[in-house]
A and B are shown apart, each in its own frame.
Chain A
Amino acid sequence: MSRPTLLALQILVAVVCIVLWQVLSTVPVFGKILLPPFFFSNPFDVFSQIVKWFSSGVIWKHLGITLTESILAFVIGSAGGVLVGFWFARQPLVAAVFDPYVKMVNALPRVVLAPIFALWLGLGIWSKVALGVTLVFFIVFFNVYQGVKEVSRTVLDNGRMLGMSERQLMRHVYWPSALSWMFSSLHTSVGFAVVGAVVGEYLGSAAGLGYLIQQAEGVFDVAGVFAGMFVLSAFVILIDYGVTLVERRLLVWRPTASDGRG
């Protein structure tokens, strides 16, 4: 299928959905409105809410806060995950000792930690960052751990036979291998950083997209909730696109499924 046709069809889906939503929430069918505005609002109100946020400029502050929290969570979580992942992979004893605890902490639904972080770190950005870090850390940690452990035996032997010292092996073999695993999970970990930030804001904060949605919900402003959701999705899609660009730049050496050559 050609690109323009595909794009046209994709837009068609959105148009149909929005029109249905608008019609069903304003025009009575057999004397009954199927989507009561109180619960479902309507596309026009949602859209005007979004326009109002952007034209008055309120939204930028919230977007900025959520973005800052996400970036901090991602950077701190990734750094921790890389360090601990490397450490565990190179010291099997340490990994064996901590294994049950890592599994235990990872099994815990992170949402329950939010109140504790709020208590410890206050209602500012750091409690949200902490929540994001607990999510990002484990994804990066597991990937780096795997990446270091699953370095190809032959490539490693080749490095040794070429005369690499332990430090050079680290730099030229283990490190790139671990990074490639980490980058392959980049979409997931960046996504989780945003989830951590927004959930944290939702559960208690004074700014951010999560806060905006929670505020609207508190006053039964359904249009505000939907507007917040749309802005949030657009925000995540933009970040995801950025990640794709970074990935393409950093993983040029990796074969894609389509160009498998013998």
Chain B
Amino acid sequence: MTTPTAVALEDAKVAFRLGDGRVYTAVEKAHLAVAQGEFVAIVGPTGCGKSTLLNVAAGLLKPAAGSVKIFDRPLAGLNRDAGYLFQADALFPWKTALDNVAIGLEIKGTPRAEALPRAQKWLTSVGLGAFAGRYPHMLSGGQRKRVALAQVLIRDPKILLMDEPFGPLDAQTRQVMGNLLLELWNADRKAVLFVTHDLEEAIALADRVVIMSAGPSSRIIGDWRVSLPRPRDIFEVRLDKEFHALHREIWSVLKDEVMKGYAQSTHAAEAV
């Protein structure tokens, strides 16, 4: 492929020092490349270190070994090319929806008078044009995610990192948000690294699905290309034969890891 690589993790290893002095290895020998314009989903059982890997790509975590390259340049400090959509609520609760979106521009030095109309435009494109004056606590969970999406996208990052962004939402809202994300992504095709525990969501959204093994010391154990045609509609793509075949194939690998992860977490709970 001739397109440049947006994110490249080579042999990345992430380890944490635990309270009692032991070292916990979360992720080992992670090889992952996301090409420009590519939508990659990482799926794995709970606690496998998917979010850890994402934080490494964001520069929020430093790998213990291996390298991280962003557009072929080694990453030092925070990843300035990336926008990050968090799983938990990350909006500034003391700012209105409009100010929350505008802040992305104001930080870069855009004058407020110029930032506000552009923020309003973004709010409209995520379907919240009428909610500009609301504070985050006055919005529903799905609406807050929309604001967060606008907050990240208004800066026009080259890479989009998403950490189970729709995890806390109900099933219907997730599908609606998924379609909104695809629609916005289709406009300029940023490189996306999308972490989820939901295999169906991953296949429906992504160009590639990467599977991680159960932690600790989890590794990338599978990499599937999703060749479903675009533009996709999440509601309909799930009825596709190819979707089902792919789902069955990936699930056969993922299932074992999920059971392993589950066994480990119950085991750990018993040990406590």
Contact = CB atoms under 8 A, between A and B. Distances in A.
B225 to A, nearest CB: 29
B58 interface: yes
Contact of B94 (A158, A159, A160, A253): A253
A168 B137 contact: no
B95 A154 contact: no
B151 A162 contact: yes
A158 B135 contact: no
A158 B60 CA distance: 10
Interface stretch (A4-12, A120-128, A230-238, A254-262): A254-262
B230 interface: no
Contact of A155 (B79, B80, B90): B90
A252 B90 contact: no
Nearest to B89: A154
Nearest to A160: B78
B243 interface: no
Interface in A174-215: 176-177, 180
B94 A176 contact: yes
A107 B152 CA distance: 47
A74 B103 CA distance: 33
Interface residues of A, number: 24
B-side interface size class: 20 to 34
Contacts of B189: none
B78 A161 contact: yes
Contacts of B74: none
A164 interface: yes
Given A161-B78, A161-B84, A259 B137 contact: yes
Contact of A262 (B80, B83, B140): B140
Interface in B64-102: 78-80, 82-84, 86, 88-96
Nearest to B137: A255
Contact of B138 (A157, A261, A262): A261
A159 B151 CA distance: 11
Contacts of A152: 88, 90
Interface of A: 152, 154-155, 157-164, 168, 172-173, 176-177, 180, 252-255, 259, 261-262
23 contacts: A154-B86, A154-B88, A154-B89, A155-B90, A155-B91, A157-B86, A158-B90, A158-B92, A160-B60, A161-B78, A162-B104, A162-B107, A162-B151, A163-B80, A163-B108, A172-B95, A172-B103, A252-B135, A253-B95, A253-B136, A261-B139, A261-B140, A262-B140
- 10 tightest A-B CB contacts, nearest first: A158-B90, A255-B137, A161-B84, A253-B135, A176-B94, A154-B88, A154-B90, A253-B94, A163-B107, A154-B86
Given A163-B80, A259-B137, A262-B140, 17 more contacts: A152-B90, A154-B88, A155-B90, A157-B84, A158-B91, A158-B92, A160-B78, A161-B58, A161-B82, A162-B83, A162-B103, A162-B151, A172-B103, A176-B94, A253-B135, A255-B137, A259-B138
